[in-house]
Structure 1
Amino acid sequence: MKKIVLNLCFLLICIVIAGCSNKGDTKRDKEGTRKEYQDTVDEKKEPFREENFSVWTTYWDVENIDNEIGSLQEHIDNICYFAAYFNEDQQPFIPEKVTKTFARMNTDFKSFTFKSYLTFVNDLLLEDGSSSLKDTGLLYTLLSSEEARSNHIDEILQMTIQGGFDGIEIDYEGMKKDIALWKLYIQFISELYQTASAKNVLVRIVLEPGVPVEEQLDFPDGPDYVIMCYNLFGYGTEPGPKANKEFLLKMINKMEGFPGKVNFAVATGGFDFAKDGKVVQVTEKEAVKLVKEYSRTPERDEESKSLVFSYMDNSGMSHEVWFADKETIQYWFDVIKESGDYELSIWRIGGNIFE
């Protein structure tokens, strides 16, 4: 009898121990799942892989750029300061915030050897205080004659050199299929590069996705050419990502045989597409804020690796939000680098979660 009792006690002890062991395994499983998820989150805090790239800063979003530049500093080759544009007298000027941002970057990151570019855009302030963006009439004024081009080149190079920048970036847009204007622009690029090179000023030329390369335009060798690989979906389109693999490969194919160094630019952030057709740009931080506000869980689109979620706002309007995070950008970089030894750029610093 005593032996039976002892055996029963031993059996009960084993059951209790096994139960405790199972509880411990369950706890470890749950914690393991959380850790695995946390590891995924932490991976986003690691720097981009081996890639080096250029970035843009903008005059309208300077609040947290020091932290973002700090997170990416080991990977940044060039910082492009966006942007100088034109007053009502069609004279170029540099906004004060651009000058202050440039000074701050030079102070905060003086141990790093970033090259700096001053970006010029064909945006024009009007007398009534409004703006004409991508103004092609302005371009005709600046580029139509050799004298006009020479004066324009002298003016913008003087601003670039006096400002302390290493290079000049031209981002003149809106020409679409105006081949006459494209030919004037190409002549300007050639003359700018020759004059800038003599003064040891670097030159970058930004091109829109719709640049009509099929027209056999004779772009000169020498400058770095940057093709914008974004806004596949956005204003005036159905909901979708800023870029996907098919679009990137199309841009790469389009630029085959282009002279000089070719640089492919991808974009952070995304768009909030409302059911009524209204489209609003959002940064990554703004998108994440919406995720938390409406308790949504984004899904990752397979073709673009962008994040997407839907929500219903307080007025009952449904929205679909597409945006890029660091994993998205890395995927786009991978697609580009797998296609050739191309250079990379990120539009833009501000509103991102890189740290």
Structure 2
Amino acid sequence: MNVELLSSFVPEFRDIFIRRYEILEYLNREGTVGRRTLSQKLNISERVIRDEIEKLKEMDYVYVNSSGATIKKEGKINLKRFLEVYRELNNLTELGNRITSFLGVEEVVVVKGDSSKDDYAFTNLGSATARLINVSMCDGDYIGVTGGKTLSAIADVLSENKRELDLTIIPARGALGKNVEYQANSVASKIAEKLNCDYRILPVPDAAPDKAMNILLENKDIHRTYEMLKELDMLIFGIGRADEMLTRKGADELEKKKILEKGAVSEVIGHYFDIKGKEVYASQSVGISLEDFLNIPRIFCIAGGAEKAEAIISISKLRSDMVLVIDESAANCIINNRR
């Protein structure tokens, strides 16, 4: 389908299609939703929501009762069918292709919005990543995951493991931060529960000193988990801004200033890089090593928000076979940085 030609011939097609798609997508994610909530979350007037829900009902895409609208099987089927049309109409496919070329990575998938300000865009980041890894998983895979709110969002939207693949989810780094929900162990557990598969835990602080780590490795389970990290088939990870990660790791102001003055803009698995991808500092970090990171066969990075743009550019320099999932805000900032 030539979407651009169709839009030029019927200008209103674009807005109507995007509006209906986003209503269906929201219902698919949230379940039964009332008109007022849809209006508030999608920033569309209640009158327009009412009219669109009626149209979707006539097409047998949604069911409506006193509690609100619920997506039906036909609606779910067409969400998948229309995904690429939606992305093209939003110019997200073209934007992703431009950034893929600029960064020199395997693929860049761009989702609509600014995930640092909009929960809807934030969930879309997780959904897009979930779709990619669902089709990339293979029987017998060891899959590593880092922590963070963004990684946790993936677990919420992952499809069930209908292929009944034998998978093992493994935390790729130790516990970091006070929020247990977003630590790598918790993310691994959530993803494994959704996929109905095995998982390991790494009950060790991310900054555990070598002496303590050597003692812990005497435990057979921890030792085996560490061995499995050397055998990962896939890694799903988030990118940290250097300044924020230094603060989270408890660096004092003098140390933080020295590292940032070296040009550090990004952090991954305890290593800090400048915008050209050159390592400028490495902190104590439990989990996969940089050498491991560079040799994992399949690697997916997820990040959003304009404030992460420099960090994304930086980390993209580490591997040309990386797949990036970013939001529109980060994408536009990266394009502006190129200029």
State the TM-score, normalized to the length of structure 1.
0.32
State the TM-score, normalized to the length of structure 2.
0.34
**Structure with greater helix share of residues:** 2
